[in-house]
Amino acid sequence: MIVRQPVGVGCSRRDFVKASPAVAAAFLAIPRAPQPPTVDGDRVNAILADFRRFGGTPDGGTTRLAYSDDDLACREYCAGVMERAGLEVSIDLGGNLIGRRPGTDPAALPIVVGSHIDTVPAGGSYDGHVGSAGAIEVALTLNDRGIALRHPLEVIIFPNEEGGKTGSRALVGRVAPFELDVVTASGFSIGEGTARIGGDPARIAEAQREPGSIAGFLEVHIEQGAFLETDGIQIGVVEGIVGIRRWAVTVTGMQNHAGTTPMPQRRDALVAAADLILAVNEVANTMPGRQVATVGRIEAVPGAPNVVPGVVRATIEIRDLEMGRISLIFAEIQRRVRAIESDREVTIALDPFYETLAAPTDPRFRDIVEASANGLGYTNVRMPSGAGHDAQSMAELGPVGMIFVPSRNGISHSPDEYSAPDDITRGVNVLLGSVLALDSAG
Amino acid sequence: MIVRQPVGVGCSRRDFVKASPAVAAAFLAIPRAPQPPTVDGDRVNAILADFRRFGGTPDGGTTRLAYSDDDLACREYCAGVMERAGLEVSIDLGGNLIGRRPGTDPAALPIVVGSHIDTVPAGGSYDGHVGSAGAIEVALTLNDRGIALRHPLEVIIFPNEEGGKTGSRALVGRVAPFELDVVTASGFSIGEGTARIGGDPARIAEAQREPGSIAGFLEVHIEQGAFLETDGIQIGVVEGIVGIRRWAVTVTGMQNHAGTTPMPQRRDALVAAADLILAVNEVANTMPGRQVATVGRIEAVPGAPNVVPGVVRATIEIRDLEMGRISLIFAEIQRRVRAIESDREVTIALDPFYETLAAPTDPRFRDIVEASANGLGYTNVRMPSGAGHDAQSMAELGPVGMIFVPSRNGISHSPDEYSAPDDITRGVNVLLGSVLALDSAG
């Protein structure tokens, strides 16, 4: 077949057909992969804009403390939209706001999607919001298009994620009785707050669900870091939520007069602490892996300009997707600490005081999320979540997957938190695609 | 002359005379240097014990805050002993307690001795006490022996040395009006306290004396360091009081989430601060000289275990007998700070906020003190005073000298502060000898 006009990649369909009708016909007859279904991007971003009516601040951020009036009002708003999406709305004993959509298979376990809407004080308008608006938008889209899923679908808005992941932890029976008396930033105790939002603190233990009682949980969330933005990638396929361990550090040297104590006679706890800070940083940077380690807090005692510090208190935090790597890193830090003790003639105590276990996402779910992103033509990369999420609680009920969208400048927990509307839309499209893939996979 | 019995160095006088009467007679006829006069060691230590009646604590220390009731009572006690020593007692407008003894030469300027009796909270029983008891004991000894000096003698107990050297600084016109409102540890402002002890805050400026109006000032004091004790030396011949400069350090990096910020993307202000702490320590240790440098205070912002510190505030203090060396050391620290800024991608501001000039003792007075110690057979060494003293104010009126006695373990500003009675007696003997030498020298 002689092609008389220049035709190449990128030429229009019309030119192609004109240039070579037969080839074009043969080509165009090849069944093409159907475009994946997408959500209504304008609508999900409109929901986000609506959220700002409840606690949005003039600087663009949001202060919507768990259990506050703004929290109650925003949850009410969500319940309304959920109902318009055809969901059956209820509130469980832990205060979780649940919108349910039956599936066609009575034996199928629910697919759960959701996130949180409470914020830190002077927080942003995207952390948790994107996942909550996104989950609701998935339900709206399925409803619009009359798509019936085999599995039931549950959209959950978990309460008090920022103050302890109370809602999602109630679903896995991990809210201890003493927590009900803990007073949150809103001024209400967790027990009082749970009642305010329609739960029942006295019966919160009954909110617990059985492990294996869900088909899976999927959450879309802002990255809260700058990895995606720095590398120009549109979607993060989350490998899991890192485990965290923290130690209280106490360096003991000898307090002394800063004027009359010659340098060689000092046992300066802050000099030794400086060695330790650099050791932690160096070990985290040089050991292979994607771990992070941080000395975030420090205090010298007595803390006067004219006194050689006799005691220094600090904290070390290590995070990684594998608890084993955290142990490895800590073991190396301990080795270096022994050397510092000897070198600086101090004693250094490292006392563990906090731990959360790593929560890997399900490998199958990573594949589903990745395939969904690829099918939509979005660049994507596998990465860990350095921050905790409701998904890590849900991981005790069944397989979980998480989807990240880029955070501008990696900023979070700040009014400057921002993700672009198109990025958000892409993330929710991947969520929808993953739900559908999970539904058909079984 | 045949010596029939073994006689050598250290043999007794009696054996010497027996062995060789003629030689002995000739030898013993050589006029020997008179034994230097000494004070009553039991008495000066008894005065120190008496002091403990006013604010002494069961742990052996003393809390006698300037202007407190204990301070007033102890000053009253001192005035009484001064009177018994034949001194004419008065209180000047700055609250200095002065005991005066006329000299035989009406034109001669006064020789001044003294120290302070106020302490820090939970302080020791020797800091200032040794010099005050010692000065009073010198007067008692001169009185006992009927020794007339050419120069008038003034014994001064300066108030509020620990809270700002108020008394001695009033003598040189350096108490600024705003200081009168500063509330001291006793709860009284400096103005109120000055009135309580018999001064007149409204006329404190009139307490100022003319430069050159004294023949000299001598003070015996505990070392407050461990140099003398470590090297087993009995007397410190003080070369001067070190100058001090302090800077406020502000390290600015970038605050970030400790979980989601990969190590290479961090601009951790505390890691940079650790570099700075080690640089200060290294420069002070490696540059030739006896300087000291200290980072005594540090604070990371926000100071949470899970946040990469964006700001660190700290202090740097450098002390040396020569202001020029302080500048040299600071210049080297600045060079290293520029490298840290570049290496860690932070900015580091160093803002000076405090300075006292070095106050060298008079070279002639050092010789006098050294000769006095040698004449008494005491081991001695020249050394700087790393701590400030009333002597540095008095240096503006005339030549000053200082005498150190050993501090056990170098501890000061603590109930564990201690100097042995014999060490104290030796120090006061040197003080007496120096006063006498100064008096005869002119």
The pLDDT-based confidence of B129 (bands split at 50, 70, 90) is: very high
Residues 230-259 of B with CB under 8 A from A: 230, 242, 244, 246, 256-259
Give me the mean pLDDT over the B432-442 stretch: 93
A32 Cβ neighbours under 8 A, 6+ residues apart: none
Given a cut of 70, whether residue B9 has pLDDT beyond it is: no
Give the span between the Cα atoms of A265 and B402, in whole angstroms. 23
Q: Min CA distance, B319 vs chain A (Å)? A: 7
Q: Does A263 sit within 8 Å of B225, measured CB to CB?
A: no
pLDDT of residue B16: 63
Q: Does A285 sit within 8 Å of B296, measured CB to CB?
A: no
The owner of tokens 């220094």 is: A312
pLDDT of residue B3: 42
B5 close to A (CB below 8 A): no
Tell me the three state secondary structure of residue A309: coil
Query: What 3 state SS string does B133-156 have?
Result: HHHHHHHHHHHHCCCCCCCCEEEE
Q: Min CA distance, A377 vs chain B (Å)? A: 26
Q: What is the DSSP letter of A287?
A: S
Residue A219: C-alpha distances to residues A123, A224, A412, B253, B368 (Å) = 20, 14, 17, 33, 84
The pLDDT-based confidence of B12 (bands split at 50, 70, 90) is: low
Q: Where are the alpha helices (DSSP H) in A52-128?
A: 69-84
The answer, yes or no, to whether the previous bond of B360 is cis (omega within 30 of 0) is no
Partners of residue B413 in chain A, C-beta under 8 Å: 257
Greater model confidence, B6 or B366: B366
- Tokens describing residue A13: 């369909």
| Of B244, B118, B94, B116, nearest in space to B169 by CA | B94
pLDDT of residue B21: 74
A437 Cβ neighbours under 8 A, 6+ residues apart: A368, A371, A372
Say if strands A380-385 and A235-241 run parallel, antiparallel, or are unpaired.
parallel
Q: What is the DSSP letter of B206?
A: G
- Tokens describing residue A1: 């077949």
b vs e for B338-356, b when ≥16 Cβ sit within 10 Å of the residue's Cβ? eebbeebebebebeeeeeb
Tell me the three state secondary structure of residue A18: helix
Give the span between the Cα atoms of A434 and A379, in whole angstroms. 16
Q: Min CA distance, B230 vs chain A (Å)? A: 10
Give the span between the Cα atoms of A286 and B379, in whole angstroms. 55
Give the span between the Cα atoms of B124 and B103, in whole angstroms. 35
Which secondary structure element, helix H or strand E, spans residue A431, and what is its range? helix A421-441
* Residue of chain B minimizing CA distance to A224: B260
B296 close to A (CB below 8 A): yes
Q: ipTM of the assembly?
A: 0.81
pLDDT of residue A3: 41
List, in sequence order, every beta strand (DSSP E) within A22-165: 88-91, 97-101, 111-116, 153-158
Partners of residue A260 in chain B, C-beta under 8 Å: 223-225, 385-387, 410, 412
Count of other CB atoms within 10 angstroms of residue B334: 13
Give the span between the Cα atoms of A410 and A126, in whole angstroms. 12
* Residue of chain B minimizing CA distance to A269: B296
Give the span between the Cα atoms of A286 and A284, in whole angstroms. 6
Give the span between the Cα atoms of B65 and B117, in whole angstroms. 9
Most A CBs within 10 A among B306, B354, B355, B392, hence the mutation to make, goes to: B306
3-state helix, strand, coil in chain B (%, to 5): 40, 20, 40
Give the span between the Cα atoms of A178 and A156, in whole angstroms. 25
The pLDDT-based confidence of B1 (bands split at 50, 70, 90) is: very low
Q: Is the distance from CB of B261 to CB of B286 less than 8 angstroms? A: no
Give the span between the Cα atoms of A127 and A62, in whole angstroms. 10
Say if strands B235-241 and B359-360 run parallel, antiparallel, or are unpaired.
antiparallel
Q: Does A226 sit within 8 Å of B261, measured CB to CB?
A: yes
Give the DSSP letter string of B50-105. HHTTTTB-TTS-B---TTSHHHHHHHHHHHHHHHHTTPEEEE-TT--EEEEE--S-
Partners of residue B241 in chain A, C-beta under 8 Å: none
- Tokens describing residue A21: 């009708």
Ramachandran sector of residue A317 (left: φ over 0; alpha: ψ -120 to 50; beta: rest) = beta
pLDDT of residue B17: 64
Give the span between the Cα atoms of B67 and B192, in whole angstroms. 8
Interhelix angle A421-441/A41-51, rounded to 10 degrees, is 110
Measured in whole angstroms, how far is the alpha carbon of residue B336 from the centre of its chain? 33
pLDDT tens by residue, A329-376: 999 999 999 999 999 999 999 999 988 889 999 999 999 999 999 999
pLDDT tens by residue, B295-309: 999 999 999 999 999
Tell me the three state secondary structure of residue A116: strand
Q: pTM above 0.90?
A: no
Q: Is the distance from CB of A329 to CB of A293 less than 8 angstroms? A: yes
Dihedral (Cα; A129, A135, A140, A143), 10-degree rounding: -170
Given a cut of 50, whether residue B368 has pLDDT beyond it is: yes
Q: Which residues of chain A have pLDDT under 70?
A: 1-17, 19, 27-28, 30-33, 442
Q: Is the distance from CB of B223 to CB of B386 less than 8 angstroms? A: no
Question: Half-sphere exposure (CA, 13 Å, Cβ side) for B389?
Answer: 37
Which secondary structure element, helix H or strand E, spans residue A250, and what is its range? strand A243-252
Most B CBs within 10 A among A294, A417, A419, hence the mutation to make, goes to: A294
Q: Min CA distance, B405 vs chain A (Å)? A: 13
* Residue of chain B minimizing CA distance to A264: B285
Interhelix angle B269-286/B323-344, rounded to 10 degrees, is 150
* Residue of chain A minimizing CA distance to B411: A256
Q: What is the DSSP letter of A387?
A: S
pLDDT of residue B34: 74
pLDDT tens by residue, A14-60: 666 676 777 777 766 766 667 889 999 999 999 999 999 999 999 99
Give the span between the Cα atoms of A79 and A93, in whole angstroms. 16
Interhelix angle B363-375/B421-441, rounded to 10 degrees, is 120
Tell me the three state secondary structure of residue A27: helix
3-state helix, strand, coil in chain A (%, to 5): 40, 20, 40
Give the span between the Cα atoms of B377 and A169, in whole angstroms. 80
- Tokens describing residue B20: 């060789």
